[in-house]
Chains A and B, each alone.
Chain A
Amino acid sequence: MKDNGSRSKAPGASTPAVTTGDSQPAASPRVPKPLVRIRGLTYRRGSLVVFEDLDLDIQRGAVTAVMGPSGTGKTTLLKLITGQLRPDAGSIEVDGLNIQGLDKPQLFKLRRRMGMLFQSNALLTDLSVFDNVAYPLREHTDLSPSMLRKVVLLKLEAVGLRGARDLMPSALSGGMARRAALARAIALDPMMILYDEPFTGQDPISMGVLIALIRHLNDAAGLTSIVVSHDVRETASIADYLYVISQGRIIAQGSPAEVEADDSEWVRQFMGGLPDGPVHFHYPGPPLAQDLLRRSAA
């Protein structure tokens, strides 16, 4: 385990060679420059503190998983990295660019190099599978129709849906829709893909296919992958590095084996799926007897 304190440091965060005085991270001969570098991130939603002074790095070429129970802000973290939300404090750099400092055209230019697989797939429901995958290519490239068709078919072949290209999203199963969305996410050959709960609601076969695809696409295309999930075993099986977050902080990080061996009570509860522990089974409330005996109009 790297750290299990109240505020965890990302790998390389404490290495002096990683940062310089200016906003651009300096190259280090020993520590590769991370693709995503988050420092001192604080994000609040109303009175709720989602993240507090969070440091996190995503290394290039790796599959990095961010895990934690539902409601800990995993999806929010992805939205912050992609600039869909703005932090209250701290900095988020993607490929050396400070996300908060980008105007809309610059942000859109950066997003062309990022793919995102949404939990709901976010397929355009009035377009076929083919047209969904072709959409970003038509928007951002000048490919001829025949070349565009070939590229789309190759992307669909990569996820095993070439034969389903004429189907509408409403005709797809959950697993097929997830793969179609994945094909669209890789259409522009991004440098990074962000997966938001990719395994939720998948049957064992679809889950196995997705696990293999995430790892295979990352290695074959030289991508960087961020997988946000609370499916412990599946995520740990393909991740190179794990972050476990809870209550706005990193409570554990390291390789899957390191996190698995962590002996903190919280991590053991989460990794083992135990019903009670530091995260209580019961939502906080008055004692049951007191509640039952209280006279109430309700």
Chain B
Amino acid sequence: MLVDSIAALGRGVLDSLTRLGRGHLLLADILRGSGEIFRHPRLLGEQIVNIGVLSLLIVGVSGLFVGMVLALQGYYVLNQFGAEESLGVMVAASLVRELGPVVTALLVAGRAGSALTAEIGLMKATEQLSGLEMMAVDPVRRVLTPRFYGGVLAMPMLAAIFSAVGILGGYFVGVGLLGVDDGAFWSQMQAKIDFAEDVVNGVIKSLAFGIVVTWIALFQGYDSVPTSIGVSRSTTRSVVHAALVVLGLDFVLTALMFGD
């Protein structure tokens, strides 16, 4: 009984390590095929539309409400210390440094990442990837590489839109509804938000999240068991793994960027 449990644990660890290795090999293969996006820029454009443009609605609406809630919660805390003029800084810093990149990555993992996994998994299940190979077309370079770069490039743009719309939402609630001074809201934000430390670090975060979210989504699809239940499980794993990795990676990046 005990031996069986240990053996099962060992098998699980070995399976996980094997999958991790396959994932890294796939990423290396994708990166080796980077030239494909210059030879076929149209494929990259299509994926930026699929992953980026089609995620605009959910990212924009989420950003608006997150910014509005931030302003509401922030106002009640800051008001206790008579610092409600700092509401703009608080909203902007929270969005640009943390919530913009993180929530956007989680939203993209749920909307576009799951779609990528299902698409690649179904292409595998219906032998479309094998069909490409038999036509002497490398499916990793032709199908996966443009999607990878589409996701990596779309993520910072979506995060920027999330943050911008969130700040507008915070402005609407803070200035429009709660009566915070208009000039103080913007001027304090302008004075306290540092471009290099806050904005650039936020962009670096979203780029890192773009890499891991798209990579996980593509790998889960490419490595899925080519059955309906296999694709279904891969799609679930894609979202769960991406969310956990984004949150864990966010802690590491925050510690590196903003820790003393």
A residues bordering B, Cβ < 8 Å?
A: 82, 84, 104, 108-109, 111-112, 114-116, 118-125, 135-136, 139-140, 184
Contacts and interface: CB of A to CB of B under 8 A. Distances in A.
In the complex, the 9 A-B pairs of residues with the closest C-beta atoms, listed nearest first: A122-B131, A108-B136, A122-B127, A111-B136, A116-B134, A136-B135, A118-B127, A120-B127, A112-B136
Interface in B135-163: 135-138
Given A84-B134, A125-B126, 19 more contacts: A104-B138, A108-B137, A108-B138, A109-B136, A111-B136, A112-B136, A114-B134, A115-B134, A116-B131, A118-B127, A119-B127, A122-B126, A122-B127, A122-B131, A122-B134, A123-B128, A124-B128, A135-B135, A140-B136
B182 interface: no
B133 interface: yes
B94 interface: no
Contact of B131 (A104, A114, A124, A140): A124
A139 B127 contact: no
Contacts of A104: 138
Which has the most chain A C-beta neighbours within 10 Å: B130, B133, B134, B138? B134
Contacts of B138: 104, 108
A298 to B, nearest CB: 20
B128 to A, nearest CB: 5
B34 to A, nearest CB: 17
A108 B132 CA distance: 10
A114 B133 CA distance: 11
A84 B134 CA distance: 9
Contacts of A125: 126, 128
Contacts of B131: 116, 118, 122-124
A139 B136 contact: yes
A120 B122 CA distance: 12
B144 to A, nearest CB: 15
A121 B128 CA distance: 8
Given A118-B127, A125-B126, A139 B133 contact: no
Interface of B: 126-128, 130-138
A86 B128 CA distance: 20
Contacts of B136: 108-109, 111-112, 136, 139-140
A119 B136 CA distance: 19
A130 to B, nearest CB: 16
A84 B130 contact: yes
Which has the most chain B C-beta neighbours within 10 Å: A116, A121, A122, A139? A122
Contacts of A84: 130, 133-134
A121 B4 CA distance: 43
Nearest to A79: B130
A31 B137 CA distance: 35
B227 to A, nearest CB: 13
A105 to B, nearest CB: 9
B130 A111 contact: no
Which has the most chain B C-beta neighbours within 10 Å: A109, A119, A135? A135
A111 B134 contact: yes
Contacts of A136: 135-137
A139 B128 contact: no
A115 B131 CA distance: 10
A125 B132 CA distance: 12
A122 B128 contact: yes
Contacts of B133: 84, 111
Nearest to A104: B138
A120 B136 CA distance: 18
Nearest to B142: A139
Contacts of A135: 135, 137
A214 B131 CA distance: 19
Contacts of B127: 118-122
Nearest to A112: B136
